[in-house]
Amino acid sequence: MWRAQVATVLVAASALAQAADYSGPLFDAHLHYNVEAWDGRAGPHGPDDVLARMKRNGVRAIVANSRPNDGTRALASMAETKQAGVTVVPFIRLYRNRADYDNWFRDETIYEMVQAEFARGVSGAQAGPYKGIGEFHLYDSANANGPVAKKLMQFAEKNNLAILAHVDDVAIDLLMAHAPKARLIWAHTGISGAPAARVDALFARYPTLMGELSYRPGLTCDAGKLCPEWRALLLRYPTRFMIGSDTWVNQRWQYYDDLMKGYRVWLGDLPPDVARGIGWGNGAAVFGVKEP
């Protein structure tokens, strides 16, 4: 009799353990600090505001990029960031303004700006030099063959810079053809919903390809838990995925708490080591961020 009771308690305890949210540190691998969030003077989401949001959500490192790059530079260099316990991994944004979104892949002045920004670097002891370029967008995958897109892929590969790319699955093949050893982070891992089997095939083909999971359609199902095919995919490539906030508009800052809580729910559905890898360790390993 008592054995049955113990077994029942154990089963209940393991069900509870499975249901617990992930509680470790988070690496936000897709963060923007754009001019409309903070213009350097006032703005709805000044550094104190965004750092407080990171801190209360256990976000201990961020890939930061911004339009223009001043927001990234500010976050990376200010003492408050270090005091909040947040490590900044700075990326060079390709856009000076909204018009650049649709033309960067053939605009030589963008290539010149990236080179100048890379040479200039980021001031601030904790940030060091730039670690990547992006996020960039390709709304038509054929533009992955634009002359500046090709040159930037090769520039990134040569200088060991990661690339954060918001593109479709066709563009992944085109971009990787330019620079087969480049560390490409696929923003949203296909926001238009490339099937899990297609993502699997691309991950198998390109060992340096990683996936960031904001806005990924079909990722979560009932009660915010992972859908079965995505759970299987994350378990198949436990070192290749990362989470991100994608604060591309101010509304995403307003929901930052909910976004991070949402990640903690489905990360809690994975084995603890896999959850910690996707939540923190994979990004930390790629960018050499120390344990918090």
CB of 252 to Zn ion, least distance (A): 9
The DSSP symbol for 277 reads I
Can you give the binding site for Zn ion, defined by CB under 5 A? 135, 246, 248
CB of 170 to Zn ion, least distance (A): 20
Q: 284 with 28: CB under 8 angstroms?
A: no
CB of 155 to Zn ion, least distance (A): 21
CA-closest candidate to residue 105, choices 163, 160, 161: 163
User: Cβ closer to Zn ion: 81 or 214?
Assistant: 214
β-pair type (241-242, 210-212): parallel
Of all residues in the shown chain, the one whose CB is closest to Zn ion is: 246
User: Cβ closer to Zn ion: 188 or 276?
Assistant: 188
User: Cβ closer to Zn ion: 22 or 248?
Assistant: 248
Residue 99 burial (CB count, 10 A): 10
Element (H, E) at 212: strand 210-212
Element (H, E) at 62: strand 59-65
CB of 209 to Zn ion, least distance (A): 18
CB of 64 to Zn ion, least distance (A): 11
CB of 21 to Zn ion, least distance (A): 25
User: Cβ closer to Zn ion: 245 or 274?
Assistant: 245
Q: Phi/psi at 69 (nearest 5 deg)?
A: -70, -5
- Beta pairing partners, 101: none
User: Cβ closer to Zn ion: 67 or 276?
Assistant: 67
User: Cβ closer to Zn ion: 130 or 136?
Assistant: 136
Q: Phi/psi at 61 (nearest 5 deg)?
A: -155, 150
CA-closest candidate to residue 235, choices 287, 271, 182, 284: 271
Q: 85 with 55: CB under 8 angstroms?
A: yes
